[in-house]
Structure 1
């Protein structure tokens, strides 16, 4: 699971930062999931190593322009290129009406299926490998945060050990790989977990923007391997943050700390903290790390490989 930040500015783009969009690449299934799609996102994808042909799901947090103005352009380009099979889009009520209006007035017709799912708190997508849940955040308009949870997997199957135990290959190997218990023809009972390595604990990612500090963001980020959280304002501008219902660096850090997240990556920075100003982005990072040391500051085209935890690591972490 690799995260690529395609836009890390808030409200408007700057020379070095585009508006909100984060890509999640799932190499094991050759899929690309997108979280928000601000104006210019398709250009950011073209400048990256991502393959738009792998795009399969888009998750929109809310209907503000800096999070959706790139959506119609991206979908239209995918249709003209003819290299996308199907796209499922998840977002607040009203998203489908917006896309229908864009399509109608621009006379755009997709050459591939596009399905829009209006989300509400709870599980909004699940398959054999992943589940995605959402919950409402606290912003000026309805906004949703997302939690992507990879399901636990049985550890690596030890083929050499199985051969040494004279276990016949074939269907039985498949059962043992899944951790099942098998009775052999000679009467021996073999437990699959005896031939498999430590359980591979599913990775968890939380994406929370736009919002002020709220309990639902903490719930989404609970025990997450990485929390991506907006940090529009510095702590000294907290009054402005409360007025606009955006987070400060300290709110993002407190969310990560309270949730027990392993790492915080801040994004969605106000352009007011450009180099040369009284408060710069480096000051925002310092503020957050004072509360949650494992904090990083995202920049456009930053890649982050989400590490996998094994069962023993998880037990040690909890103790």
Structure 2
């Protein structure tokens, strides 16, 4: 599982960074990906990665400020040209449906796939779940409705102990698949092989939290609890809390304090004001490190591997 930081700037593009967008690439065999926000030129940033638009499966918009959505219509349109035919689910605050439908109507845009739009209203919790992961959304504190998202991967079964299967006389094929899925099987001689006898420890699902623009708030802590990766805005440097709160944002210190309070495993800060150059990012990272580690100040096109932190015995 890998997070790509496609744009790490706030408000408008600068010569240092593009505006906000992130992509969470799921592990094999799916290799599909989830997009979080889509500031202008997001699809141009994607061209510099290994991501394929036809593998895009979900889009999650945190809020409707332009630096988070101006790149979305073009990206969705381009997906058809890139061979995208499978459905895409789009989640976002109330108004995202009207925004997309209005632009597509005026521009006569036609998609070759089904776009399913879900508007989030109020302070919702679970908004999606399948056999791979679940997604929760909660309302943050910004100038307009802004959401944070928590993606929880389902626990994964351990590896099959192939040598043990051979010893037991289990033939490779469908029986292996059933055991991998946690089922017991009965062999030709009537003996029963239980899944837990021939699989290693199960893997605990990873948690990724992506927060939209926000001041410090209780829901940010709830979403970030025990996250393996916490992506948190840090628009301003430490000491600029008054200015940050005036515009509904956080400082580096506040992002780190949230990570520490939530017992996150890794903090990546993003959404930096244009006043900061790439040379300033080490200083911003150092400010946060006084309160939480490990912490990373994201640069455009940074890749962060979300590692499995533990196994369940």
Change (3 A) 1:128 1:285: same
1:166 matched residue in structure 2: 169
Change (3 A) 1:147 1:275: closer
Alignment deviations for residues 135-168 of structure 1 (CA, whole Å, 9 cap, x no partner): 1111111111001111001100112102213346
Change (3 A) 1:274 1:168: closer
Asked if 1:91 is matched to 2:92, the reply is yes
Moved more, 188-197 or 90-99: 188-197
**Number of corresponding residues:** 310
C-alpha separation in 2, matches of 1:30 and 1:195: 27
2:243 matched residue in structure 1: 240
C-alpha separation in 2, matches of 1:286 and 1:158: 45
SS at match of 2:283: helix
Q: Given that residues 6 and 300 in structure 1 are in contact (C-alpha distance below 8 angstroms), is that contact kept between their aligned partners in structure 2?
A: yes
Q: 2:135 aligns with which of 122, 128, 132?
A: 132
Asked if 1:273 is matched to 2:273, the reply is no
1:53 matched residue in structure 2: 54
SS at match of 1:15: coil
Q: Which has the higher helix share?
A: 1
Alignment of 1:78-117 (within 5 A): 78-117=79-118
C-alpha separation in 2, matches of 1:103 and 1:171: 46
Asked if 1:228 is matched to 2:231, the reply is yes
1:146 matched residue in structure 2: 149
C-alpha separation in 2, matches of 1:228 and 1:170: 41
SS at match of 2:177: helix
Q: Given that residues 55 and 84 in structure 1 are in contact (C-alpha distance below 8 angstroms), is that contact kept between their aligned partners in structure 2?
A: no
1:18 matched residue in structure 2: 18
SS at match of 2:275: helix
Moved more, 58-67 or 194-203: 194-203
2:45 matched residue in structure 1: 44
SS at match of 1:242: helix
Q: Given that residues 134 and 151 in structure 2 are in contact (C-alpha distance below 8 angstroms), is that contact kept between their aligned partners in structure 1?
A: yes
2:77 matched residue in structure 1: 76
Q: Given that residues 84 and 112 in structure 2 are in contact (C-alpha distance below 8 angstroms), is that contact kept between their aligned partners in structure 1?
A: no
Q: Given that residues 198 and 310 in structure 1 are in contact (C-alpha distance below 8 angstroms), is that contact kept between their aligned partners in structure 2?
A: no
C-alpha separation in 1, matches of 2:82 and 2:58: 17
Alignment deviations for residues 107-138 of structure 1 (CA, whole Å, 9 cap, x no partner): 22223211111124122121111111111111
Query: What are the ranges of 5 or more consecutive residues in structure 2 without an aligned counterpart?
Result: none
Alignment of 1:189-228 (within 5 A): 189-228=192-231
Alpha-carbon distance, 1:12 to partner:
1.0
Q: 1:257 aligns with which of 255, 260, 282?
A: 260
Alpha-carbon distance, 1:187 to partner:
5.8
| TM-score using structure 1 length | 0.91
Q: Given that residues 285 and 295 in structure 1 are in contact (C-alpha distance below 8 angstroms), is that contact kept between their aligned partners in structure 2?
A: yes
Alignment deviations for residues 69-95 of structure 1 (CA, whole Å, 9 cap, x no partner): 001111122234443432211100110
C-alpha separation in 2, matches of 1:94 and 1:309: 38
The Cα RMSD (Å) is 1.9
Query: What are the ranges of 5 or more consecutive residues in structure 1 without an aligned counterpart?
Result: none
Alignment deviations for residues 226-259 of structure 1 (CA, whole Å, 9 cap, x no partner): 0001000111111001111101111111111111
1:303 matched residue in structure 2: 303
Q: Given that residues 18 and 300 in structure 1 are in contact (C-alpha distance below 8 angstroms), is that contact kept between their aligned partners in structure 2?
A: yes
| TM-score using structure 2 length | 0.93
